[in-house]
Structure 1
Amino acid sequence: MDIRFEQAGARFAGRLAVEPLTISLTERRIGIIGLNGSGKTTFARMINGLVTPSMGRVTVNGVDTVDDAEAVRSQVGFIFQNPQNQIILPILREDIALGLKSRRLPAAAVEAAVQGILGRFDIGHLAGRRAHELSGGELQLAALASVLVTEPRIVILDEPTNQLDLKNRALVEATLNGLDESVLVISHDLALIADFDRVLLFHEGRLLTDGLPSEVIARYREVATL
C-alpha cells in the first residue's frame, strides 16, 4: 500500500473539512480516530475518490484519485458506516455477484468467485438470505464479501463495530484481523485499533497526531476531555 497526500485538503461550502496535509501511508493496518466532525471520514473518502481534493493531490499506488478515479476505486474498497445501505440487491448471493457482472466476466467465473468469497468468510449459509434478515455482524461480513470479491488491494471501513453487540463485534474483529488486504479503519472503538501498525488522530479538520496506537489514543483521550 502506498497512499500519498501532497498538500491535499477538502473544502465544503467555504469551510475546510480537512486542512491541506502531506502524508504517506504504507502500513498494512491503520486506524483513523477523532471526535465527530473532526474530518476523519472526509480524509478516508479522499483516498478512494469519494471526495476529491479541493487543493493538492492524492495518489494510491501511484494513481491520481482525480485523473483516474475508476482505477483507484478498483484498488480501494469502502465499507460504509451502515453496510445495509450498500447492499443493493435483495439476495446476498446476487449482490456479491453484481460487481463482477459489471466487469462482463463469464458466468462460470462469476459463480466461482462468489462461491470463493462466501467460503472465505464462512457465510455460504447466508447466500440466499435478504439483508434485513441478517444480524449486524452478518451485515458487515456481507458488505465485506461484496467489496472484496472484486479483489481490491486496500479496504476502508467506517465504524465497522458501531452498534454491534459483543458477539457480533468479536466476529467482525476476528474477520478484520484475518484479512490479507491492507486495512484502514475509522473507529470510535479504540480497543479495535489498539494493536494496529499506526493511528491517525484528526481534530477540527486537521491531523493532530500520527504514530503508534498507544501514544495517539492517549492524546485522543486528552482531546476528548477538553
Structure 2
Amino acid sequence: MLVLVLDSSTPAVTAAVAEVTDGGVAIVAQRRTVDARAHGELLAPHVAEVLAEAGVRPGELTAIVAGLGPGPFTSLRVGLVTAASMAQVLGVPVYGVCSLDALGRAAGAGRVLAATDARRKEVYWATYADGVRERGPEVARPADVGVTAERAVGEGAQKYADVLGLPVDGELLYPPALHLAELAAGRVRDKAPTEPLTPLYLRRPDAVEPGARKPALR
C-alpha cells in the first residue's frame, strides 16, 4: 500500500512516499527542505517530485498521513490543508499523527525529551520512554520544561540545549517521514475510516480579530 506522508509542523518542509506492507514500512522517495518561510511555496512541488521519483500516480495512493504538530499556525495549516484537500479529491482516507511522536519514536530506547521551536522563546515538547509518549505535548519556555530525561531530540532542544541541560542528538532535529508513516501504519493496514485533521496549535495564533469599538466618552 502506497502512502503520501506530509509534515509542515517545523521549519522542515517534508513530503514522502512510503510503502506499507504487513512486514513494515519503507520510504520509497522523500524530499525535505528546511525553510521556515516557504512552506506554501515548497510543499506542493515536493509532493510532485516524490510522486514522480517513486513512479506513483496520485490515484495509486492508498492513504495520506499528515503531521498534526504541534507547530506554528501558518506553517502547520499548509500541510494539513494540502493533506485534507488531496484526500478528498482522491477519495482516500487521511490520518493524523502528532509530529513530536515521530521524533520520540525515532529516538528509540530510553527516556527522551522531544522539543521543537515554538518561537517567542518557547518550545513545543513531549517526553517519551522507549518511543512511547509519557507526557505532553505542551508549550513552554525552555527553563520551565523541567523534566527528567537522558537526552533530547528536535531543533528546539538543540536551540535551547544550554537551558535544558541535556545532550542533544544533532542528527534528529525534524519529524522523520518514516516514523510518521509507521505511527499510522496500523490504520493504513486496517483501512480505517478517514479522520478529521485536528491541528495541535497549543496556543492562539498571533493574528486575532479586532474587538468591538469602545464607546466614546461623553
Q: Same fold (TM over 0.5)?
A: no
Q: Give the structure-1-normalised TM-score.
A: 0.23
Which protein has greater RCO, CA pairs closer than 8 Å, 6+ apart?
A: 1
**Higher helix fraction (1 or 2):** 1
